[in-house]
Amino acid sequence: MKRINIIILLLLSFLLLAGCMKKEERFVPQTMADLRGHTVAVNSGTTQEKIARMVTEKENVQCLPGGLDALVALDAGQSDVALIERANMFSDDFHRLALEEAFTDSTTQEPLATAMRRDDVALLQEFTNFFDSLDVTGGLEEIKSRWLNPNLTDNQKKVVIRQKDVPTRGKRVLHIGSDYSYPPYTITVNNEKTGYEIELWQRFCMTHGYGLVCDVYSFDALLPALMSKRIDIIAAGMSITPDREAKVSFAPADDYSVTSVLIRKEGNKGNRGFFESVKDGFDRSLVQQDRWEMIVDGFWVTMWIFFGSLVLGVLLGAILSYMQMSRHRTLVLMANAYISLMRNIPILVLLLVMYYIILAGTGLSAMMVAIIASAMNFGAYIAVMFTTGIKAVDNGQKEAGLALGLTPFQTFIYIIAPQAARHIIPVFQGEAISLLKGTSIVGYISIVDLTKASDLIRNASFEAFFPLIFTAVIYFCLCWLLGKSLDILLKKISK
């Protein structure tokens, strides 16, 4: 009996091993119908997302936030195919990915153009006239020959207008929004915002005396930003659909979407060694086009937002704490209601509400809105800390100070506050670190902070490792230094 069991186990093991060693047949679709049952990666809000939802089950559609994340997902083996705009393949680093085109689908073409608000009739007419004149003189064809040429993949050679040459002031300042990671329409080259659609508007502004400012938004945030008048133009290779035409106006269509179905190449990605791959990835992520400067700029933006939110949050928390300990019931109720509201609303939702609704018409910059929103949230937690820490000090300490002839203010500063700090700082340390980490969400409202800078680099270079690792290391170092600094302060107070 034991021998029979051993034989059966050996046979099962052999069959299992043979199954594992069996080479999986490579999936090479020929038509859109072949995609059913397979995982399809697309960028959200694009024509390709609509196509994917028509040809395969909704649970098999991977909608990624923007840029060319669909390509990265396919390259990493997270999907079976990727649907992209064919012009996106003209990117500098596309050839580096282990991907190839299975086929091109032209049956679902949609016109592409920049979008504006429907009430901006004069601007639309002025740009239409400019576009028509550019077409007549041959200037439009020259621009297309550079940006929409599949044989020209060096984006640096396509740039003829530098961002510094375009005025930021004029009879009106136009804000153009994009994620600047959607080649060839909007991209980032040498830390400058450029691309086919950007160059059209640069030429228009330089000709007609407008100022132009490039704002960075994720693709799904562009329409809300336009409707709330945060931006005046959407430049993102946006397809013209009936639903969008009901909300916005489109400039003259000058290109059409053509969908490419991409699959992974057969075999390995190459014969390069490990160290050579690491060196190449580092060079492409941070050295080429001086992309490390984007990390440095994003670092300082993060620092400004953090320290601004910290100072305002502490001041707001002190006021709320004073209201909580007031003898006036109205002030207590107001403070408690505010604290309850802030502690039960996600910071991201608060940030979006402040940016797109409450402060939309004030003219405040995105950075100021981020500081205010973060301070509002942080101040609620600080108020609770202050109130709890002060109440933890025995009331006899206050009476002793007054008995010594100190004023109530002097008693608080010299006796109560130092003792309360011992209870406050350990909790404050954790909240301050959370505030610092929480600044990573400000990219949702057109701020290129440390995290958003790494996203731009990742989409431009198709390299995720170094941008994300560098960002994680920088945040770790900042949070560690902040924690150590507060530990030192607590030790000095405790002496």
Which whole-number Å values give the CA distances from 384 to 101, 307, 322, 333, 380, in the listed order? 58, 20, 11, 14, 7
Tens digit of pLDDT for each residue in 359-396?
A: 987 888 899 999 999 999 999 999 999 988 888 877 77
What percentage of the chain has pLDDT greater than the value 70? 92
Residues in the chain: 495
Question: Of the ranges 82-86, 162-166, 232-236, 396-400, which one carries the lowest mean pLDDT score?
Answer: 396-400
pLDDT tens, residue by residue, 65-99: 766 788 888 888 888 899 888 887 777 677 777 88
Distance CA 389, CA 423 (A): 5
Task: Check residues 13 and 32 and name the one with the higher pLDDT.
Answer: 32
Let me know how many helices (H) and strands (E) the chain has, helices first. 19, 13
Token pair of 271, please?
A: 């014969």
For Cα atoms 471, 472, 476, give the angle at the middle one, nearest 5 degrees: 120
150 pLDDT above the threshold of 80: no
Q: Which of 67, 62, 71, 70 shows the shortest CA–CA distance to 38?
A: 62
Output the pLDDT for position 311: 96
Domain range annotation of the chain: 111-256, 290-494
pTM above threshold 0.75? yes
Res. 177: pLDDT tops 50: yes
Protein fold of 290-494 = MetI-like fold (1.10.3720)
Which residue, among 297, 455, 296, 432, has the nearest Cα to 374 in the 3D structure? 432
Helix (H, G, I), strand (E, B) or coil at 82: strand
Q: Closest Cα partner for 245 from 110, 123, 118?
A: 118
Q: Tell me which residue of 150, 179, 411, 453 sits closest to 301, measured CA to CA.
A: 453
User: What fold, for 111-256?
Assistant: D-Maltodextrin-Binding Protein; domain 2 (3.40.190)
For residues 413-417, give the mean pLDDT: 78
Mention every residue, 6+ apart, whose C-beta is less than 8 A from residue 401.
Answer: 410, 411, 414, 415, 416
The pLDDT score that the predictor gives to residue 267 is 64
Q: What's residue 353's pLDDT?
A: 93
Residue 88's SS3 state is: helix
What are the tens digits of pLDDT across the range 300-344? 999 999 999 999 999 999 999 999 988 899 999 999 999 999 999
The residues with which 64 forms a beta bridge, in sequence order, are 43
Answer yes or no: is pLDDT of 236 > 70.
Answer: yes
Position 272 scores a pLDDT of 57
Q: Which position has the higher pLDDT, 348 or 269?
A: 348
